[in-house]
């Protein structure tokens, strides 16, 4: 059996991702994950992966695409804070008068990604409820490593596979509904589904579905996908697009409170409050270009990484830092170790957002979202969400966290499980 190597230095990581870009390295997941994700982006490689990424990247990466969905991020974030304040009020006479942030953060990020992907009004409350409960089943399956449980409905994995099948059915129905609207020219052009349908042909039950592509698009350039592939990727997209961001939401709330006396954090709050007083803060350009907000969010990612590890498999012999790594080896990328590497970060254990302004080298060597061909599709959306969230925490709401319940969730995706009391700072009229 070939050994597992561990990447502990950024130079290893950049070379690793370069080999991945050239196709010599694939992601390696436990077998359970492969069943749960099936034909979704992280499990596929080579040509098919490249084709789907070619469609997906323009939907999420350019500023113009994000700017179009800024209203969704703002609305959902306002709703998050209003809900937290309501729950705090409702809880005030309870023995436990704190509100757990994580479930609300999950709803927040879930609603954002659904509203980005699908047109307004398409996800009614029954579908929403059904998606949420099946995602819950599906996600729990990722901790069951016994693939013999795949067909066992008593096990976590067996339950997750049932949840997965339900999700595939719901996403198939939603896709068919989007195609109807697209063909009737009533589908909102801002939603991801519109742009996706523009770029694909879909085979369903052995037949090509009729999609009336816009005239100016050459039909030959469409990527052909099966409905199962579309549904698998939508399942992954909605899942990847909310669980990680919700965890980061908890970490941000934690850091703002824990490092509230930090000079950088105080200055950041002051700057944001000044911009807010001039009604200039909650605009796409201000939030996107605000460097100090960026440095704060980056430092939260560094100190509290949401994705803590990835595993990659060599499908060809590769040279890394002068050493030949033979085909068949695997390499683990351990973000907890990397982010505390003192060759890369001075005083790595200190929470210091200013380091991002002062050390341009680390900008090139730091990858909370991966790099290369498999880099996170939603990295810019995630930054936007977390910057809006930080700006609201600093200007619109006041909160205190329960100091007795700040625990590290033991999870593949790591987060601070915080409980707080939240109140609006704005006086009601």
Residues contributing to the site for ligand HEM (CB under 6 A): 27, 41-42, 53, 60, 113, 236-237, 240-241, 244-245, 248, 306-307, 310, 368-370, 374-378, 381-382
Find the residue with minimal CB distance to ligand HEM.
Answer: 378
Least separation in angstroms between residue 426's CB and ligand HEM is: 28
Identify which of residues 160 and 381 has a Cβ nearer to ligand HEM in the complex.
Answer: 381
Pairing between β-strand 419-424 and β-strand 99-100 as defined by DSSP bridges: antiparallel
Contact 212, 183 (CB under 8 A): yes
Contact 112, 72 (CB under 8 A): yes
CA-CA distance, 171 to 324, in Å (whole number)?
44
* Residue 26: strand pairing partners: 313
Identify which of residues 43 and 149 has a Cβ nearer to ligand HEM in the complex.
Answer: 43
Least separation in angstroms between residue 134's CB and ligand HEM is: 18
**Farthest CA pair distance, the chain:** 69
Identify which of residues 10 and 370 has a Cβ nearer to ligand HEM in the complex.
Answer: 370
CA-CA distance, 423 to 81, in Å (whole number)?
8
Q: Provide the terminal-to-terminal Cα distance of the chain, rounded to the nearest Å.
A: 69
Least separation in angstroms between residue 402's CB and ligand HEM is: 24
Least separation in angstroms between residue 184's CB and ligand HEM is: 27
Nearest to 84 by CA among 60, 95, 100, 68: 100
Contact 54, 375 (CB under 8 A): no
Identify which of residues 309 and 406 has a Cβ nearer to ligand HEM in the complex.
Answer: 309
Least separation in angstroms between residue 384's CB and ligand HEM is: 9
Least separation in angstroms between residue 313's CB and ligand HEM is: 12
Identify which of residues 301 and 345 has a Cβ nearer to ligand HEM in the complex.
Answer: 301
Least separation in angstroms between residue 369's CB and ligand HEM is: 5
**Any alpha helices (H) in 343-427, and if so which ranges?**
355-358, 360-364, 379-395
Contact 210, 183 (CB under 8 A): yes
Identify which of residues 114 and 275 has a Cβ nearer to ligand HEM in the complex.
Answer: 114
Angle made by CA atoms 378, 379, 383, in degrees to the nearest 5: 115
CA 319, distance to chain mean position in Å, is 31
CA 208, distance to chain mean position in Å, is 32
Least separation in angstroms between residue 373's CB and ligand HEM is: 7
For 55-72, give the DSSP string.
Answer: HHHHHHSSHHHHHHTHHH
CA-CA distance, 238 to 424, in Å (whole number)?
29
Identify which of residues 378 and 420 has a Cβ nearer to ligand HEM in the complex.
Answer: 378
CA within 13 Å, CB half, 19: 25
Identify which of residues 275 and 388 has a Cβ nearer to ligand HEM in the complex.
Answer: 388
């Amino acid at each position: 059996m070939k050994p597992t190597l561990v990447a502990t230095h950024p130079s290893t990581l950049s070379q690793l991702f370069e080999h991945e870009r050239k196709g010599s390295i694939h992601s390696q997941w436990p077998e359970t994950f492969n069943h749960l994700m099936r034909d979704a982006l992280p499990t596929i490689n080579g040509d098919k992966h490249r084709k789907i990424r070619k469609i997906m990247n323009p939907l999420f990466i350019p500023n113009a695409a994000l700017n179009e969905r800024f209203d969704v991020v703002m609305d959902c974030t306002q709703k998050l804070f209003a809900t937290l304040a309501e729950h705090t009020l409702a809880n005030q006479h309870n023995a436990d008068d704190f509100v757990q942030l994580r479930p609300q953060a999950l709803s927040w990020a879930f609603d954002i990604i659904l509203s980005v992907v699908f047109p307004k009004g398409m996800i009614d409350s029954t579908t929403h409820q059904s998606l949420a409960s099946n995602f819950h089943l599906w996600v729990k399956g990722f901790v069951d490593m016994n693939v013999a449980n795949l067909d066992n409905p008593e096990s976590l994995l067996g339950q997750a596979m049932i949840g997965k099948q339900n999700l595939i059915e719901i996403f198939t129905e939603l896709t068919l509904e989007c195609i109807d609207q697209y063909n009737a020219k009533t589908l909102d052009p801002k939603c991801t589904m519109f742009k996706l349908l523009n770029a694909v042909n879909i085979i369903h039950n052995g037949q090509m579905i009729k999609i009336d592509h816009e005239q100016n698009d050459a039909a030959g350039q469409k990527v052909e996908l099966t409905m199962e592939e579309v549904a698998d990727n939508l399942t992954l997209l909605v899942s990847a697009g909310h669980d990680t961001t919700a965890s980061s939401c908890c970490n941000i709330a934690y850091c703002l409170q824990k490092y509230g006396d930090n000079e950088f954090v105080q200055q950041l709050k002051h700057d944001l409050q000044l911009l807010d007083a001039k009604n200039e803060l909650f605009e796409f350009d201000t939030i996107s270009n605000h460097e100090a907000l960026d440095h704060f969010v980056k430092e939260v990612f560094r100190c509290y990484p949401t994705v803590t590890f990835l595993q990659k498999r060599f499908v060809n012999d590769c040279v890394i830092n002068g050493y030949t790594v033979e085909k068949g080896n695997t390499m683990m990328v351990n973000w907890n170790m990397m982010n505390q590497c003192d060759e890369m970060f001075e005083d790595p254990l200190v929470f210091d957002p200013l380091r991002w302004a002062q050390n341009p080298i680390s900008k090139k060597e730091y990858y909370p979202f991966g790099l290369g061909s498999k880099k996170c599709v939603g990295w810019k959306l995630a930054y936007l969400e977390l910057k809006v969230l930080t700006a609201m925490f600093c200007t619109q709401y006041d909160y205190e966290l329960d100091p007795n319940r700040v625990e590290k969730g033991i999870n593949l995706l790591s987060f601070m499980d915080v409980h707080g009391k939240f109140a609006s700072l704005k006086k009601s009229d």
